[in-house]
Amino acid sequence: MLLEVKDLNVYYGAIHALQGISFHVEEGEIVTLIGANGAGKSTTLKTISGLLHPRSGDVRLREQSLLSLAAQEIVRRGVIHVPEGRKIFAPLTVQENLEMGAFTRSDPAEIRQSMERVFRSFPRLKERLGQLGGTLSGGEQQMLAIGRGMMARPRLLLLDEPSMGLAPILVEEIFSIVQEINSQGVSILLVEQNALMALSVAHRGYVLETGRIVLEGTGQALLHNPQVQSAYLGSH
């Protein structure tokens, strides 16, 4: 098992944001967490990547707990978080943003190879290498955020709302790239409001409601689950 989250309890002050959630990601899987705003999806990713500390529970990568590690050490272990809202470095060029993604790495030849791999997935970034990140369109900034994540050579990529604010045609492009990255051997934990797209590409999914997991199953099973359809897919 690649990632195991066990009985995780996370608080914001007095608010019990994650209430004993447990789930796992196997090697090579795309697993999605779906749920309404405030369900605890982003909190889960931030806890896995070391940005938040749980009151109790455990997060294990290949049987080793991540909880005592600093966020940058978790990056070195191959857990890479692409945050909600893209969070690219607006004053830096596309190339500089990508190079920032490789800050834990030291072999120039390997870094160049990774950059070429990013350009194969996102040819538009290669055309805009010298352009400032802040001047890119929303879709291009999302591509840059994912590309920067890929520069760190992830074993597990945590994607938080990659389709947020994008036009439908770009959403399809981003999700097809997510599948392509997965096909290269990268496991993905995907948080996404667009439940239809997320469940369409995911091997398995979990439904979060107010800090608890209330449903789990294969992506296809959840897509056809009446409860999920009614709550998240606009079917009644």
Q: Domain segments of the chain: what residues? A: 3-78+154-232, 90-153
The C-alpha atoms of residue 227 and residue 236 are separated, in whole angstroms, by: 9
Q: Over the stretch 181-210, which tens digit does the pLDDT of each residue have? A: 999 999 999 999 899 999 999 999 999 999
| Alpha helix ranges (H) inside the chain | 41-48, 71-76, 94-101, 108-121, 123-127, 138-150, 168-183, 195-201, 219-223, 226-232
What's the pLDDT tens digit per position in 130-155? 999 999 999 999 999 999 999 999 99
Range 104-127 average pLDDT: 91
Which of 21-30, 109-118, 172-181 has the largest mean confidence? Answer: 21-30
- Cα separation, 198 vs 81, whole angstroms: 17
* Predicted pLDDT of residue 131: 96
**Mean pLDDT estimate for the chain:** 94
Question: Checking DSSP bridges between strand 64-65 and strand 79-82, what pairing results, if any?
Answer: unpaired
pLDDT at 105: 86
Instruction: Give Rg (Cα) of the chain.
Output: 17
% of the chain exceeding 70 in pLDDT = 99
Which CATH code for domain 3-78+154-232? 3.40.50.300
Torsion of CA 213, 216, 222, 225, to 10 degrees: -80
Retrieve residue 232's tokens: 């998240």
Confidence of residue 161 (pLDDT cuts 50, 70, 90): very high
Instruction: Please list, residue by residue across 69-83, b when 16 or more beta carbons sit within 10 angstroms of its beta carbon and e when fewer do.
Output: beeeebbebbbbbbb
